[in-house]
Structure formats: structure tokens, C-alpha cells
Amino acid sequence: MEITDDLIAMEAIASLQEKGYSIEQVLLAMAAKPVAEVKAEDLPPWPVGTVVRDMKTKQRIVLRHPLVRSDAYEFVCEKAHGEKPHPDYSYICNERWCRCRS
């Protein structure tokens, strides 16, 4: 069966062409294989300074050592107290001069 015989495929191509994609881009995207599901253990570890939440205790932790990603922890933010517009000081980051220690 050719793609020109597939009404749904032709409608999808026409729709994408209206959005500015070339026929080559559309056909390349259609030929691409789906990305396999990524496991947390396969991702790089969270770096030092990242804030994570322990899923058992619900406490926020600022990493002092890189941590391998797992279902036991949930990402909160990249930097302690870096949330905007109002930084969150509800946990201690152990930085020497930070407001959270006072």
C-alpha cells in the first residue's frame, strides 16, 4: 500500500505542510522509530546542590553528593531556595550564610 492510498496519512501531511513543514520533514518524522522508554537509572545522576524530596518522609533534601535517580526521590528544583518569585526557606540547605539557617 502506498502512502497516497492512506487518507489519514495524506490529511496529516497536508496539515503539517500548512504549518510550514516540508514533505521531506514529514516523511522523515513518519519513518522515525518511537523512542524507547527511558529508565531513571539510565539517566545521569542529580548533581550536588539539587533539591529532591524523599518520597517516604516527604522531606526536602539538598544533595551533598550526586544521587542516582530513582522512584524513591522526586526532583524539586535545581538550586536550593531558587524558586521564583518567592524563594522557599521551609527546609535547611546547610549553606554557611543562607537565611534558612537563622
Give residue-wise pLDDT tens across range 7-44.
Answer: 777 787 788 888 888 877 877 777 766 666 767 667 78
Say if residue 97's pLDDT is above 80. no
Say if residue 70's pLDDT is above 80. yes
CA distance 83 to 86: 6
Q: Which residue has the cell 539539587?
A: 50
| % of the chain residues with pLDDT over 90 | 2
CA distance 74 to 77: 10
Show me where the domains of the chain are located. Answer: 1-32, 37-102
Say if residue 95's pLDDT is above 80. no
